[in-house]
Structure 1
Amino acid sequence: MIDMNEREEYRLKRLQKRIKIVDVAKKLDRSPSTISKYESGYLNFPKYVWFKYKQIIDNWEGDR
């Protein structure tokens, strides 16, 4: 059986990941589902999007 603390940690991690994806999507003017597909490798990043994405992720992780 899963401990309640583990379940809460899992939910928190999923929520943080979702917040990051939505934040990045807004800044790149893309949909969150597209960003998820880029990150998972389902879609290839266009070059101009990749450089902007990398900048945003570096800044985003630096703020946290």
Structure 2
Amino acid sequence: MVDSLGGPSGVNNILSTLNLKTISETSLKIMEQRASEEIEQVATESARIATSNASFSEMTQ
């Protein structure tokens, strides 16, 4: 997320352009870590569901 915006300075540039408070690099790293954990959980669950659906489809054919 942060990398796609140009790193912490890019994020803060966008925030300041929008007249919002900037965020320290440490806080950004913490938020990025939390988000990556959640994204990993959603991806794992999605893969589990897709595998289950594929198995069910093969069994019913």
The structure with the largest alpha-carbon Rg is 2
Q: Please give the TM-score of this superposition, normalised by the length of structure 2.
A: 0.44
Q: Please give the TM-score of this superposition, normalised by the length of structure 1.
A: 0.42
